[in-house]
Amino acid sequence: MHNPDTELVARAGHGDRAAAAMLVSRHSARIFALARRMLGRDAEAEDVVQDTFLKLWTHAARWQPGAAKIETWLHRVALNACYDRLRKKRPVPLDEALELPDAAPGPDQGLDAPALSAAVAAALAELPERQRAAILLCHHEERGNIEAAEILGLSVEAVESLLSRGRRNLRARLAPFRGLLGEDE
């Protein structure tokens, strides 16, 4: 199947700025969203996007058409950059790290949408990094297990195991919000 990204990368590698702009417009927002949810901060997420695209620009002229899908490759590079940053990061208090409002549920669990979103983001941030990445790829970006496995550099079985643990952990962390998330308690 023809993938327009392959042609765009080849053109960008030969100095076609419009092709580079097209690649940015097709992929940068999604890569940013993934990095933002992995790292919790806009500035760090943008740094990851910059590093990822810089790698693409440097490799564009030598890109092999038969190699991995550009989108898969970009996600993989971005996730590796996120892992590097997470390992270097000193532990910081969660509310500071995520720049989130207080998401503690009230007695009646009367949360508005932004607070519930913050609670979900906080629960996600508490997951181990690979579980978080797997959950984001499969449940937020709605990718299949095979593609997620390629991005994560793991076997499909390993991704399924990560997803299973990740879902269980997420559900346990969001226990106070189950009613709001459409689950009967």
Binding site for other proteins (CB under 8 A): 12, 15, 17, 20-21, 24-25, 28-29, 32-33, 36-37, 42, 45-46, 49-50, 53-54, 57-58, 61, 113-114, 116-117, 120-121, 123-124, 135-136, 139-140, 164, 166-168, 170-171, 174, 178, 181-183
Nearer to other proteins, 80 or 161 (CB): 161
Closest CA to 31 of 185, 176, 137: 137
Minimum distance between the CB of residue 126 and other proteins, rounded to whole angstroms?
13
Minimum distance between the CB of residue 25 and other proteins, rounded to whole angstroms?
7
Token pair recorded at residue 104: 């503690």
Burial class, 69, CB count within 10 angstroms (exposed 0-12 / middle 13-18 / buried 19+): middle
Nearer to other proteins, 1 or 43 (CB): 43
Nearer to other proteins, 67 or 172 (CB): 172
Minimum distance between the CB of residue 111 and other proteins, rounded to whole angstroms?
10
Are 76 and 82 spatial neighbours (Cβ–Cβ below 8 Å)? no
d(CA 5, CA 70): 6
Nearer to other proteins, 90 or 102 (CB): 102
Minimum distance between the CB of residue 115 and other proteins, rounded to whole angstroms?
10
Nearer to other proteins, 125 or 150 (CB): 125
Minimum distance between the CB of residue 55 and other proteins, rounded to whole angstroms?
10
